[in-house]
Amino acid sequence: MNPRALFAAGLMLLLPMKGSGQDGVDHSKHSAHQMTVDPAGVVMNQNHDTLPRDCTEISRDYEFTIHAGRKYAADFPGMIYGMSQHEVRVQPCSRITITFVNEDSVRHQWMVHGLPKYLYPAGMFHIEASGGHSKTGTFIVPGDDRSYLVHCDMAQHMEKGMRGQLVVGNGSGDLWGVAGVSDDFYRYSYLPWHTSLLAALVLVFAFLATLWLAKKW
Amino acid sequence: MSRRWLFVLALLIALLSCPPQWYPMPIRLKLTEWFGAAGFRGLPPSVEAMATEPEVFCPPDPEGWRDRQLIEDVDIAASAPCVADNPYTVATFVRGSNNVSQATLLKSGLAADAVEKGRDLDGDGDPDEIHIRLEVAELNGGSAVVPGPVTRYEIAPGIRPGLWVFAPKFVGMAVENFESNRARRSLRLPSPAIRIEQGDTVRITLENTHYMPHTLHLHGADHGFVDVSGEGNDGVPITSEMPVMPGDSRSYELSPRHAGTMFYHCHVQPHVHVMMGLQGLFIVEENRPDNWLQTMNIGAGLVRVPSRSLRESFDREYDLHYLDLDKELSERIQLHNDPRLITRSMHRDYDITDSAPDYFTLNGRSFPYTFRESLLVGEDDERIRLRVVNGGAKGIALHTHGHKFTATHRDGVALPEDTLAPQDVIWLATSQRVDLALELKNDGLHSYGPGIWPFHDHQYNGITSDGIGPGGNISAIVYAQYMDEAGWPQTRGVSFDRYFTEAFYRKEIPVWESYAPGLFSDTGHDLLMLLRVLGLALAGGIMAALGVGALIRRSRGRKLNHNQGQS
Ligand SMILES: [Cu+2]
Ligand SMILES: [Cu+2]
């Protein structure tokens, strides 16, 4: 299987199924995004009042304060970075204000993928806080039940713990690998190699024991 | 009785199947004496080469990043090869991320505090307070959710070794596109070349965004063992200070009195961390008035805004960073996701004393990608300064075709005037730097005239990628008249199609297929030989079964006799 196809299959584990990746827009060009850069960080594609097409009004206002940093991974063995809350549950068509508090001395991000691209360039809403800073941003979710990937897109931060989900309504099933919510898709065995010898021993014992029993009966 | 016939049959099959070339030599000679040579049987035909779809050699440059341009009043030189650095990033490095407009900062992709430039302390018209921030990024790492390496970076078609790099502080995603998961263009190997001015008051803050402890060690650059506040400043865990843990940061200070080409690298488990790519050129430029330096050179290569002192005696300057990689080390970050398992695998299971390098990079790429961005392009009679570091584990015998260069500095120190002589191979030990003067003066000594002249490591492993050549650190000195508009050299040899094909470096394509189709192709199979081998196997199986059966019968018979004897 070619690596691209494999990767595309992998994306299915990360992104909500419908409507994702249909146009493959390259969003390295910042011009498409609405954002400003200041020493405290960045908020990208903020949306206070434009309703998604399938909403008639804002159903509810939410405010969440989410802390990020190494200490929030302390309860998860094998993770380095974490968030105070890896899952956010909201009603469809609600307006969400996230205050992202970075307690480390390096950058962290709270980034949502898979939002409608007609409203959010590249389908993303993004808060980035510099080390020791906090940033606040607001966006409005569409009306269907879906689970959206939330992560920090610093290299390896998602892999090492900063992966979460935004569940709108009843969601569309948990995403893989959300700390405290769902298991890793590729999970190591955490057994030493010589466990296979023990397994072989048990196999031989079972074989002989069955022969012996079969003879007795 | 039937068992005996079966044995005879098997023997017959074996004799008929046995390929004549396997007969014992005396028998073959005897047969030849009697019958002469065996009849002609053509060798298997050549296998038709697989159709390949080579990558685009020279990616387009829609935004004109290669052109000479003026941004924030910074004159950014043209860059001739296909792939050039973002000029807005270059301008921001020159002016300081705190001194440029919001529009330039957005186009640069840098954070507001990436490179801050402060006061002019000596009143000579350029800033002398410099604050640089460095992060640590992992390229081609593992994942517990997505297959294949993440934050992908290719050193050559299809070659994605796991890497760690120091990186300038950008904002936004590490990838350029969530769907493709390729590292953004500026996030790459090698770690950026850093330039400061002699006497500047420099702070370098290491913001450890990685998941392992790291430090910054300023190799060869004048810095105190402790900083002003008495904290360790050498970056060496066993002698000066604790390493910087993930999510933490630490500042290193220096105000170098001596100028020259130096080096920087992580000093935590250096035999692993430095060899993963945590190393870069560190250049201290001589103090000159109004000397606005390009503080970082992403991916090394052409310095698009060279210093005042450089411009006094040279027309261009290139940073050349050589690094070799051991795939048995670099793949370890892809095999696990749990940092405890990775740490064990890299720092205890991996044994560098048993290692050999597999990939050989120049400015973070191997051939043919070096031809996209690491060509040394110049015009007739130009003088070109090369700042070279060998960051790899093995030595490098750097060789130029068509030219003899002169090494003027070694390890940042000028060599005595009366010892300077042109040469065409120079030896660089691990972590050694040399400053070379390359003159495109067609005098039969310094240059043999315009052309496309390769330069490469003359140690032969260095010109391969995992043993496949051409690969490794091959690049070329190209005279401007040999470059086309798009930035591709007008070579007149073989087609590059195969080299821009992943399968070539996966060792699946015969090396000369592109210009000698069929002549040295892969060979087809010999079906008659297959039949003979299967016949031998059949006969062998039958005979073995008969043999084992006979043994069993014999032992049973003995037991029976024994029992009968008892009763
Ligand atoms: Cu993060
Ligand atoms: Cu390190």
Amino acid in position A35: M
CB B313 within 8 A of CB B452: no
Mutation site for A-interface testing, chosen from B143, B245, B501 by largest number of A Cβ within 10 Å:
B143
Is the confidence at residue A6, as pLDDT, over 60? Answer: no
Query: Within a domain: residue A131?
Result: yes
| Residues A173, B200: Cα–Cα separation, whole Å | 56
| Residues B281, A180: Cα–Cα separation, whole Å | 43
| Residues A81, A160: Cα–Cα separation, whole Å | 6
Closest to B129 (Cα-Cα) out of B241, B204, B30: B204
**Nearest-Cα residue of chain A relative to residue B112:** A39
Report CA torsion sign: B467, B159, B211, B225.
positive
User: Which 3 state secondary structure label does DSSP give B275?
Assistant: coil
| Residues B120, B126: Cα–Cα separation, whole Å | 6
**Nearest-Cα residue of chain B relative to residue A23:** B179
pTM of the entire predicted model: 0.92
Residues 111-150 of A with CB under 8 A from B: 111, 113, 122, 124, 126, 128, 130-131
Amino acid in position B336: H
Residues of A in contact with B348 (CB under 8 A): none
Q: Which helix (H) or strand (E) holds A69?
A: strand A61-69
CB A38 within 8 A of CB A45: no
- From first to last of its 567 residues, chain B has per-residue pLDDT tens of 588 899 999 999 999 999 988 999 999 999 999 999 988 999 999 998 888 899 999 999 999 999 999 999 999 999 999 999 999 999 999 999 999 999 999 999 999 999 999 999 999 999 999 999 999 999 999 998 888 899 999 999 999 999 999 999 999 999 987 778 899 999 999 999 999 999 999 999 999 999 999 999 999 999 999 998 999 999 999 999 999 999 999 999 999 999 999 999 999 999 999 999 999 999 999 999 999 999 999 999 999 999 999 999 999 999 999 999 999 999 999 999 999 999 999 999 999 999 999 999 999 999 999 999 999 999 999 999 999 999 999 999 999 999 999 999 999 999 999 999 999 999 999 999 999 999 999 999 999 999 999 999 999 999 999 999 999 999 999 999 999 999 999 999 999 999 999 999 999 999 988 788 888 999 999 999 999 999 999 999 999 999 998 898 888 877 766 666 554
CB B95 within 8 A of CB B165: no
User: Which 3 state secondary structure label does DSSP give B130?
Assistant: strand
- What is the complex's ipTM, to 2 decimals? 0.88
Report CA torsion sign: A154, A156, A161, A163.
positive
Chain B nearest C-alpha distance from A62 (Å): 25
The pLDDT of residue B443 is: 97
**Nearest-Cα residue of chain B relative to residue A191:** B341
Closest to B246 (Cα-Cα) out of A208, A55, A81, A33: A81
The verdict on B111 touching A (C-beta cutoff 8 Å) is yes
Query: Within a domain: residue A106?
Result: yes
| Cα→Cα distances B407→B258, B412, B425, B476, Å | 19, 11, 10, 18
User: Which 3 state secondary structure label does DSSP give A28?
Assistant: coil
Closest to B366 (Cα-Cα) out of B155, B207, B134, B224: B155
The pLDDT of residue B566 is: 56
Plot region of A62 (φ>0 → left; ψ -120 to 50 → alpha; else → beta): beta
| Cα→Cα distances B329→A190, B161, B321, Å | 21, 9, 20
How many CA within 13 A on the CB side of residue A10? 24
Q: At what angle do helices B2-17 and B527-566 cross, to 10 degrees?
A: 150
| Residues B202, B179: Cα–Cα separation, whole Å | 39
| Residues B563, B567: Cα–Cα separation, whole Å | 7
Closest to B291 (Cα-Cα) out of B309, B303, B278, B279: B309
Residues 313-342 of B with CB under 8 A from A: 336-341
Query: Within a domain: residue A145?
Result: yes
| Residues A178, A83: Cα–Cα separation, whole Å | 11
The answer to whether the Cβ–Cβ distance between B141 and A27 falls below 8 Å is no
The pLDDT of residue A18 is: 40
| Cα→Cα distances B59→A125, B108, B175, B499, Å | 30, 20, 18, 15
Residues 128-167 of B with CB under 8 A from A: 135, 137-139, 141-148, 150-151
**What is the 8-class DSSP label of residue B7?**
H
The pLDDT of residue A10 is: 54
pLDDT band at A31 (very low <50, low <70, confident <90, very high): very low
Q: What is the CATH number of the domain that holds A76?
A: 2.60.40.420
> Structurally, how many domains does chain A consist of?
1
Residues paired with residue A146 on neighbouring β-strands, in sequence order: A168
CA of A73 to the centre of ligand 1 (A): 12
Determine phi and psi for B226, rounding to 5 degrees: -125, 160
Furthest C-alpha separation in chain B: 120
The verdict on A13 touching B (C-beta cutoff 8 Å) is yes
Q: Which of B105, B172, B339 sits opposite A78 (nearest CB)?
A: B339
**Nearest-Cα residue of chain B relative to residue A154:** B174
First vs last Cα of chain B: how many Å apart?
A: 31
Q: What percentage of chain A carries pLDDT values higher than 90?
A: 76
Between these two residues, B434 and A26, which has the higher pLDDT value? B434
Q: State pLDDT tens for residues B139-196.
A: 999 998 888 899 999 999 999 999 999 999 999 999 987 778 899 999 999 999 999 9
Instruction: Write a three-state SS string for B500-546.
Output: CCHHHHCCCCCCCCCCCCCCCCCECCCHHHHHHHHHHHHHHHHHHHH
The pLDDT of residue A13 is: 58
| Tokens linked to A72 | 């929030």
Domain containing residue A53: 32-182
User: Which 3 state secondary structure label does DSSP give B348?
Assistant: helix
Chain B nearest C-alpha distance from A216 (Å): 24
How many CA within 13 A on the CB side of residue B426? 27
- Angle of CA points A12, A17, A23, to nearest 5°: 90
Determine phi and psi for A197, rounding to 5 degrees: -65, -45
**CB neighbourhood size of B329 (10 A):** 23
Query: Within a domain: residue A201?
Result: no
Q: Which of A6, A35, A131 sits opposite B148 (nearest CB)?
A: A6
Kindly compute the dihedral angle of the four CA atoms of residues B341, B343, B349, B355, in this order, to the nearest 10 degrees: 130
CB B192 within 8 A of CB B186: no
The pLDDT of residue B2 is: 82
The pLDDT of residue A43 is: 94
| Residues B52, B385: Cα–Cα separation, whole Å | 39
CA of B207 to the centre of ligand 2 (A): 12
Cis peptide before B368 (omega within 30 of 0): yes
CB B266 within 8 A of CB B227: no
Query: Within a domain: residue A154?
Result: yes
| Tokens linked to A57 | 């009004």
**Nearest-Cα residue of chain A relative to residue B343:** A78
CA of B265 to the centre of ligand 2 (A): 8
Is the confidence at residue A54, as pLDDT, over 80? Answer: yes
The pLDDT of residue B176 is: 86
**CB neighbourhood size of B221 (10 A):** 22
CA of B528 to the centre of ligand 2 (A): 58
Is the confidence at residue A169, as pLDDT, over 50? Answer: yes
Kindly compute the dihedral angle of the four CA atoms of residues B458, B461, B467, B471, in this order, to the nearest 10 degrees: -40
